[in-house]
Amino acid sequence: MIENLTEFRRPGTSLRGVEFTADYLWRLAQEGRLYVASDADQDDRVTGQTSFANTTPTFMLQVPAGITALPLFLNLSQTGTVAGGAIDAIIEIDSIERYASSGTSEKVFNTRKSRNMANKSLLYSGATAVAGYGLRLFAATMGQDVSPAEGAVPGPFWKPEIPYFLEGPAAWLVYTYAATTGPTWYWTAGWAEWSSREIGP
């Protein structure tokens, strides 16, 4: 059981014999608790929506009961067909089951293959969500442009400012939309997860 975050900071020894302290991400990676999701094929893309509806997230991490997940990052890069107008992106968390149906359950890698710990949380693109509103963590409006030669910022690249422990059932939702033609993305998302019993009260 994790009593506090200092448990993540245990000293070790480098190849030169100098003591060092690894941060919590190194510890989580060593324990096999870090997961990264993206498209199964390198050149696959995900297209967002043409308007906002809380039932149509572009991406959704569904955290089941008994599991706690910690969102770590989301990288989005515009590609393919240029969106039909300025793009809005909203990142939200919720404390209920939000997955309803359909969508693609995306490919997930554990960053420590030898641990053989399968992910329990599922990352969907294009799924239908149960209607509802959680807590907005991030929102931005950006230009519709896929050409870096024109100075476009292809993001967003999001990392949470503070830890958000999502105790299942819970969800991490990402909405992206632009009028007429939805934005198209290359993307990668990452999170950590545990059995909720390990986190403790």
List the pLDDT tens digit at each of the 201 positions of the chain. 444 444 444 445 454 566 656 678 888 888 999 999 998 777 789 999 999 999 999 999 999 999 999 999 999 999 988 999 999 999 999 999 999 999 999 999 999 888 778 999 999 999 999 999 999 999 999 888 887 666 666 678 999 999 999 999 999 999 999 999 999 999 999 999 999 998 877
Provide the pLDDT for residue 150. Answer: 63
Q: 156: cis peptide before it, omega within 30°?
A: yes
**What's the whole-model pTM score?**
0.86
Backbone angles phi, psi at 165, to 5 degrees: -85, 115
Provide the pLDDT for residue 156. Answer: 83
Backbone angles phi, psi at 44, to 5 degrees: -70, 155
Provide the pLDDT for residue 186. Answer: 93
Q: How many CA atoms lie within 13 A of 37 on its CB side?
A: 26
Provide the pLDDT for residue 33. Answer: 94
3-state secondary structure the chain: CCCCHHHHCCEEECCCCCEEECCHHHHHHHCCCEEEEECCCCCCCEECECCCCCCCCCEEEEECCCEEEEEEEEEEEECCCCCCCCEEEEEEEECCCCEEECCEECEEEECCHHHCCCCCCEEEECCEECCCCCEEEEEEEECCCCCHHHCCCCCCEECCCCCCCEECCEEEEEEEECCCCCCEEEEEEEEEEEEHHHHCC
Domain segments of the chain as ranges: 1-30, 33-196
Q: How far apart are CA 199 and CA 89, in angstroms?
A: 31
Q: How far apart are CA 190 and CA 157, in angstroms?
A: 12
Provide the pLDDT for residue 5. Answer: 43
Provide the pLDDT for residue 19. Answer: 61
Contact 125/58 with Cβ under 8 angstroms? yes
Q: How far apart are CA 59 and CA 62, in angstroms?
A: 10
Provide the pLDDT for residue 35. Answer: 96
Provide the pLDDT for residue 7. Answer: 46
Q: How far apart are CA 199 and CA 147, in angstroms?
A: 44
